[in-house]
Chain A
Amino acid sequence: MLVLSRKLNESIMIGDDIEVVVVDIKYDQVKLGISAPRHIPVHRREVYEDIQRENMIASKVGKALVDEAINRYGSSKEEG
């Protein structure tokens, strides 16, 4: 991993068109500004991890639960 030191308002370039600026430093938090072309998706790493976790949970759903959901939905609709 390449490690660079940057001060407030200094930036790094990734390729020709992605710029990462240190916008603010407060205590243990760094605020980064990212300017990149629209076709480059920028997401926090946590988003990917959250999606992975959610997929993991979803992969464990069994057939019977779907049947139960369909049945329960049917009966709650009759009540309502």
Chain B
Amino acid sequence: MLIETDRFGQVEIDSDDVITMVDGILGFEGVKRYVAINHGQDKDLFKWLQAVDRSDLAFVVVSPEKVFSDYVLDISPEDLKKLQVQDERDLIVYAITVIPHNNPMDMTVNLKAPVVVNSRNKLADQVIVSTEGYTLRHRVFKEIGHKPDGREERRTVIVMEGEDKDVSVIQEAKREHNDR
């Protein structure tokens, strides 16, 4: 099917790829149908959740596990039920991203309230996770730039998929994490 979008013009999408929000993205509860569109190349970090029925509405998203090597999704049983999840491995997580005009490097992702999709039935919703320390404005580029208070900052590895070097860094970090 062909959809109209402000950012990408007309886009041909597969109707099987349309995801349906059960309650909706907070503040946009009336908009139920979205489709994930790659930003640029297939393997780019950023995707867009484009509203199918509203050309102007789209959110930049990232997969949090690609940005934060130790990402954990702590979703409530109630939310799992709502999305009719039978196997948690079916879940796709999108963290909504804010990129400020004046400094894109200050971009933040919302780890507290990600959009979670059940890839089996394409039911989705914005859920609130209970993981301690996850915020609505989690900085992506923590390791770059100054350290205002002199404390040691946690190193955050960011990956553009397809760049082998960084992928191996993440794999190492994951391995260390698992060994512990």
A41 within 8 A of B: yes
Chain B's interface size range is: 35 or more
Could you tell me the distance in whole angstroms from the C-beta of B134 to the nearest C-beta in chain A?
12
Select A55's contact among B26, B40, B107, B141, beta carbons within 8 Å. Answer: B26
Chain A's interface size range is: 20 to 34
Q: For B143, give the chain A residue with the smallest CB separation.
A: A80
- Chain A residues contacting B39 (CB-CB under 8 Å) are 63, 66
A51 within 8 A of B: yes
From known contacts A57-B98, A62-B7, infer whether A48 and B57 are also in contact, taking CB-CB under 8 Å. Answer: no
Which residues of B does A touch, CB under 8 Å? 7-8, 25-28, 39-40, 44-46, 57-60, 76-78, 81, 96-99, 101, 104-105, 107, 110, 112-113, 126, 128, 136-137, 141, 144, 158, 160
Which residues of A does B touch, CB under 8 Å? 38-41, 43, 47-48, 50-59, 61-63, 65-70, 72-73, 76, 80
